[in-house]
Amino acid sequence: MQMELELAEILYATDREAAFEALRLGPSVRPARYLDGTPLHVVTGHAEISTVLTDPLFSIDPNKQTRLDVESATGFPPDVQRYLLYTLGTSDPPDHTRLRRLVSRGFTPRRVNALRPRVQQITDALIDGLAASHGEVDLIDDFTHPLSLQVICELLGVPTEDHKHWEMWARGMATPQRAVVVDSARGLIRYISDLIETKRKEGGDDLLSELITVRDDGSGRLSNEELVALSLSILLAGLETTSSLVSEGMYLLLRKPERAAALRADPTRIPRAVEEFLRYCGPVDVGMLRFTLGPVELGGVRLQAGEPVQVVYGAGNRDVLRFADPNTPDLDRVDNPHLAFGHGMHYCLGAALARLEAHIAFESLLRRLPHMELTSPEEAPQWLPGVGRTLASVRVQPDGRT
């Protein structure tokens, strides 16, 4: 008889690598318990995860199940729940189809490419700060986090003078204190609501202004509530994820300086290296909960209607049945169908922007700070608890003097 996993033991494990390796070595579909103790199944195989993400029998809409009280498990009050729990990322067709069609018009290649000069400018300014420092800095606090936040603010059209407020709220959303998270969410909701009204009157050349004006084929527009929820989703989905991708990618490069030297010598290899970082140390280890809409077999396990299912990207992206030598980062890996951005209808809309930001960050850091090194390369990495794969810090000497 299989032992039930406690999901909390995985997400809050001190040794995250060991915890996820144990998951990868077990059955691809196995019983577990959610954070509140509710029984569910975790899915760790690449093929099985792909099935969950594409088969319409697996719903992402929490309203379509009764076994798990998602709202109670999160602890959010109703005025925050409706913005955080019910949006594009937690909807099924036809609601998802309508929202995705409207929102995708704001994530066109033209809009993403138009951000390239500004992303480079933000990156260069932050590296100027690193280069001017006289001693140890934290690559997360001093580079990857502010880079991601400023790019998101630029994307949504948040005035520069208000970035400091978003920084405060974003950090509040990332704390384990539920009261701080709720207060920060309310601050963001109020701010975004006011920003929407301003942009309705004045317009702007940014994503939020675009989303305010887009219509679907039935002349329907996004409601104010949908616009606020989508803006929050963009912040929460894009901030820590892109920051974590760049910070852990740089950590891997600095742990093995020959890797950094190879990419510095041939920057054309950076895009493929980014894809490998997404696979090997993707920023989201655990995906959104799904719920079975009917009886279904998955990985040889028979699931009944209404069962919660938790996909574990951190295991699927190192599935030995799909990837050669999965526990070794190969910066020239060619066959790399990772699941870092999801799969199917809920594939991340911001994937192109995340890649653009990462490409610019890696190229610029390697070129401008060729002597940067870890302050304590012998120390084991420390990850923050939660569904994301986020290093607590990456302490570096930008000029290489230790």
What is residue 196's three-state secondary structure?
A: helix
d(CA 247, CA 340): 16
Range 186-195 average pLDDT: 96
246 contacts: CB under 8 Å, gap ≥ 6: 143, 144, 147, 148, 357, 358, 361, 362
Range of weakest confidence among 15-24, 141-150, 203-212, 352-361: 15-24
Q: State the Rg of the chain over Cα.
A: 21
Ranges of H-type helices in 175-223:
178-202, 207-213
d(CA 257, CA 361): 17
- Sequence length of the chain is 402
Give long-range contacts, CB 8 A cutoff, 24+ apart: 22-30.
23/312, 23/314, 23/315, 24/315, 24/318, 24/319, 24/320, 27/2, 27/299, 27/301, 28/299, 29/298, 29/299, 29/300, 29/301, 30/2, 30/5, 30/301
Range 283-291 average pLDDT: 92
Who wins on pLDDT, 215 or 110? 110
Q: Is the pLDDT at 216 greater than 70, yes or no?
A: no
Q: Is the pLDDT at 354 greater than 60, yes or no?
A: yes
Q: Between β-strands 29-33 and 395-397, what pairing exists: parallel, antiparallel or unpaired?
A: unpaired
Model confidence at 385, pLDDT cuts 50, 70, 90, reads confident
pLDDT of residue 1: 44
d(CA 295, CA 304): 4
Ranges of H-type helices in 292-389:
313-316, 351-368
The candidate with the shortest Cα–Cα distance to 50, out of 247, 281, 339, is 339
The phi and psi torsions of 160 (rounded to 5 degrees) equal -55, -40
pLDDT of residue 178: 84
d(CA 87, CA 349): 13
Find out whether 313 and 287 touch, Cβ atoms under 8 Å: yes
Model confidence at 164, pLDDT cuts 50, 70, 90, reads very high
State which H helix or E strand residue 123 sits in: helix 116-132
Question: In this predicted model, what pLDDT tens digit does every residue of 219-249 receive, in sequence order?
Answer: 578 899 999 999 999 998 889 899 999 999 9
Model confidence at 20, pLDDT cuts 50, 70, 90, reads confident
Q: Is the pLDDT at 71 greater than 70, yes or no?
A: no
Superfamily of domain 5-397: Cytochrome P450 (1.10.630.10)
Q: What is the DSSP letter of 89?
A: G
Report DSSP letters for 268-308, one per residue: GGHHHHHHHHHHHT-SBSEEEEEEESS-EEETTEEE-TT-E
Ranges of H-type helices in 206-256:
207-213, 224-255
38 contacts: CB under 8 Å, gap ≥ 6: 67, 68, 69, 73, 308
CA 313 to chain centre: 11
Range 42-52 average pLDDT: 97
The phi and psi torsions of 188 (rounded to 5 degrees) equal -65, -45
What is the residue type of 67? Answer: R
Model confidence at 110, pLDDT cuts 50, 70, 90, reads confident
Query: Whole-number mean pLDDT of the chain?
Result: 90
Find out whether 278 and 330 touch, Cβ atoms under 8 Å: no
80 contacts: CB under 8 Å, gap ≥ 6: 182, 185, 186, 189
Model confidence at 111, pLDDT cuts 50, 70, 90, reads confident
Who wins on pLDDT, 358 or 112? 358
List strands edge to edge, sheet with 373-374: 137-138, 395-397, 373-374
Range 24-44 average pLDDT: 90
pLDDT of residue 66: 64
Q: What is the dihedral of CA 287, 289, 295, 299, to 10 degrees?
A: 30
Q: Is the pLDDT at 73 greater than 80, yes or no?
A: no
pLDDT of residue 78: 84
Range 188-214 average pLDDT: 93
Query: Helices then strands (H, E): number in the chain?
Result: 18, 13
Find out whether 253 and 372 touch, Cβ atoms under 8 Å: no
pLDDT of residue 255: 96
pLDDT of residue 389: 86
